Amino acid sequence: MRMHLPSGVFYQTYKQDQALWPTTFVKLRMWGLLVFLFVIFPQIASPYWLSLANLVGYTILSAMGVQLLIGYTGQVTLGHAAFIATGAYTCAVLVLQYHVPYPLAFLAALIVAGLWSVLFGLPSARVKGFYLIMTTMAAQFITVDFIITQYVSRIGERGHSFSLPPGTLSIGPWVIQSDRDIYYLMITLVTLSVLAMTNLARTRIGRAWMAIRDHDIAAEALGINIVAYKLLAFFMAGVFGGMAGAFWIASLFAVSPEHFTWSWSLWLVGVILIGGLGSNYGTIFGSLFMTLVMEALRNMVTALAPLFPSLETSFLFIKEAAFGLAIILFLLYEPNGLAYRWWQIKNYIHLWPFSYE
C-alpha cells in the first residue's frame, strides 16, 4: 500500500503517473472531502453558511470559463459576465415563457451560451492582446446592456426582470426551493465541472490550448490549428458561463441585467489572478478567498456602523478598494497565486520527512 512517494519510490506505468488520486493518502483525503461536502456540511450548516457556500460555488462556476480562456489558452477576456447572462436568460425564458423542464432548459443554456461565446471569439483568429480585450468587453456591452436590457428582458411583457419565486425550478419530482436544495445542485455542478476541466486539460485538446498559451507561433508550426482550438476554448468557456447562469437563477427571486454587470467580469479575472493561473485549485482558492474575505469585510463594516454610520453607505466603495488592494498585493508578493502555495504544502506533506529546497 503506497501512502507517500518520497525519494526512491517512483511510478512504473503511465496510468500510475497520470492518476488523479495517485496514492492511498490522496484517495482517503479526497473521499473524506467529498463526504464532508455532500453529507456532513449541508446537515450542520445554518442557512447563512449555506447561502455563503452557494455564492462560493457560483463564483467557481463563473470563474471556470475565465480560467480556461486566460489560464489555459492565454486569451484575455473582460466580458465573461455576458455569457453567464446568456445562460441565465436562456434558461429563464424557456422555463417561464415556454414551460420547458428545467433540465432541458439548463442544457439549452449551455449550448446557446457556448455558441454566443464563439461569435465573440472569432476575432481571436486575427487579433490578440489589447485588441482581444476590447472585443470581449464589446461582448459585455452588446449582450447585457443592449440585447438583454432592451429586448430579452421584455419578453412576455415582464418589464425589467423575470420573477423566479421558490418552487419555479424542479428536476423531476425534486423541487429546488430552499438554500439546502440549491447547495446540493451547486456542489454537484462544481464537482462535475472540476472533474471535466481537470480531465479536459490532460487531453490532446488541453495540451493544444496550453501550447497556444505558451507560444502560439510555435504551436502553429507544430501543426496545431490555433484558430479551431481558440474557438473551441471560447465555446467551452461559454458552456461553463452558461452553466453558472443557469444555476444562479435558482438562487434569485428575480433575474435582471443588474446581476451581470461588467464589474462581475472584472471580478472573475481577479479571482483567477489571486487563486493562480492555469490551475483548477486556483479557481477554487480564488473564489473562496474573494468571497470569504469580502464577507468578513462586510461583517466588520456592519459591526462598526453604529460608531461610524457613513461606513455602511460606502461599503461598495470599500469593497472595490479592498479588491484592488488584494490584486496589487498578490501580484507583488504572491504572483503565482494561492494554488502555488497549496502545491508547496502538498509537496511538503507528501515528501515528509525528506526535505528539498
Which pLDDT tens digit goes with each residue over 165-202? 878 899 989 999 899 999 999 999 999 999 999 999 88
* Same domain? 84 vs 187: yes
Q: Decide if 326 is inside a domain.
A: yes
Q: Where in the sequence is the domain holding 190, given as residue range(s)?
A: 47-351
In a domain, 141, yes or no: yes
Considering the domain boundaries, does residue 233 fall inside one?
A: yes
Co-location of 277 and 146 in the same domain: yes
Task: Please give the pLDDT value at position 354.
Answer: 63
Q: What is the pTM of this model?
A: 0.92
Q: 32 and 77 share a domain?
A: no
Which DSSP string corresponds to 217-277?
HHHHHTT--HHHHHHHHHHHHHHHHHHHHHHHGGG-SEE-GGGG-HHHHHHHHHHHHHH-T
51 and 116 both lie in a single domain = yes
Lookup: cell for 272: 483567477
With b meaning 16 or more CB within 10 Å and e meaning fewer, what string describes 21-58? eebebbeeeeeeeeeebeeeebeebeeeebebbbbbbb
In this model, does residue 138 exceed pLDDT 60?
yes
Q: How many domains, the chain?
A: 2
pLDDT of res. 1 = 42
Helices (H) and strands (E) in the chain, counts: 17, 4
pLDDT at position 256 over 50: yes
How much is the average pLDDT of 32-48?
95
* Cβ-based neighbours of 326, under 8 Å, separated by 6 or more: 270, 274, 289, 290, 293
**58 and 202 together in one domain:** yes
Same domain? For 68 and 26 the reply is no
Give residue-wise pLDDT tens across range 215-245.
Answer: 989 999 999 999 999 999 999 999 999 999 9
Same domain, 53 and 73: yes
Inside any domain, residue 269: yes
CATH number at residue 309: 1.10.3470
Banded model confidence at residue 88, pLDDT cuts 50, 70, 90: very high
Other C-beta atoms lying within 10 Å of the C-beta of residue 283: 31
In a domain, 357, yes or no: no
Do 35 and 137 fall within a single domain?
Answer: no
The mean per-residue pLDDT over the stretch 315-328 comes to: 87
Angle between helices 81-96 and 102-121 (to 10 degrees): 150
DSSP label of 23:
S
Q: Are residues 93 and 181 in the same domain?
A: yes
Q: Is residue 113 part of a domain?
A: yes
Do residues 256 and 134 make contact, with C-beta atoms less than 8 angstroms apart?
Answer: no
Do 77 and 152 lie in a common domain? Answer: yes
Eight-state DSSP code of residue 157: G
Claim to verify: residue 69 and residue 123 sit in the same structural domain: yes
- pLDDT-derived band of residue 41, with 50, 70 and 90 as boundaries? very high
Residue 8 in this model has a pLDDT that exceeds 60: no
Q: Are residues 97 and 129 in the same domain?
A: yes
For the segment 288-303, the average pLDDT, to the nearest whole number, is 90
Residue 66 has pLDDT above 70, yes or no: yes
Q: Is residue 54 part of a domain?
A: yes
Digit-coded pLDDT (tens) for 142-171: 999 999 988 888 786 666 678 888 788 999
Q: Is residue 253 part of a domain?
A: yes
